[in-house]
Amino acid sequence: MEELHNIIYELETSLLRLEVRSSFYQLNNLLSDDFKEFGSSGLVYTKQNVLERLPQNTDKTVYIVSDFKIVVLSEGVVMSNFKTDRTINDTDKVSSLRTSLWRKENSVWKLFFHQGTPIK
């Protein structure tokens, strides 16, 4: 279980790094074709939306992850829950609770659902 925790943690936190967020190729490989996100903004995104929008974003965003946990829902499906403290361009600090669903597709973990909820 610890190994799976570490794998999902690494995948999840990779999606918060600028070099991954700005890479169409890396995002395409991490997101399932049926990916859907309910963003902390209140907007709904698909894989296509993310691939069109995220690599173009030039904001300097820093994420601090805490309280990371996983729950195995079934063979090949894992839910992660965690908190992020996000700072954009050294201002605008926003804290969110996040939930992701990961599915093993052809022996590769892919993100197929994500939701971020802002907290005070």
Q: CATH no. for residue 12?
A: 3.10.450.50
How much is the pTM?
0.91
Q: In which domain, by residue range, is 90 found? A: 2-119
Phi-psi region of 2 (alpha: psi -120 to 50; beta: other; left: phi over 0): alpha
Q: 10: Cβ–Cβ under 8 A, 6 or more apart, which residues?
A: none
Number of domains in the chain: 1
Sheet with 91-105: list strands edge to edge: 44-46, 31-38, 108-119, 91-105, 77-88, 61-74
- Indicate the pairing of strand 44-46 with strand 77-88: unpaired
- For each of the chain's 120 residues, which pLDDT tens digit applies? 799 999 999 999 999 998 999 999 999 999 999 999 998 788 999 999 999 988 787 677 889 999 999 999 999 999 999 999 988 777 778 899 999 999 999 999 999 999 999 998
Rounded to whole angstroms, the Cα distance separating 55 from 13 reads 16
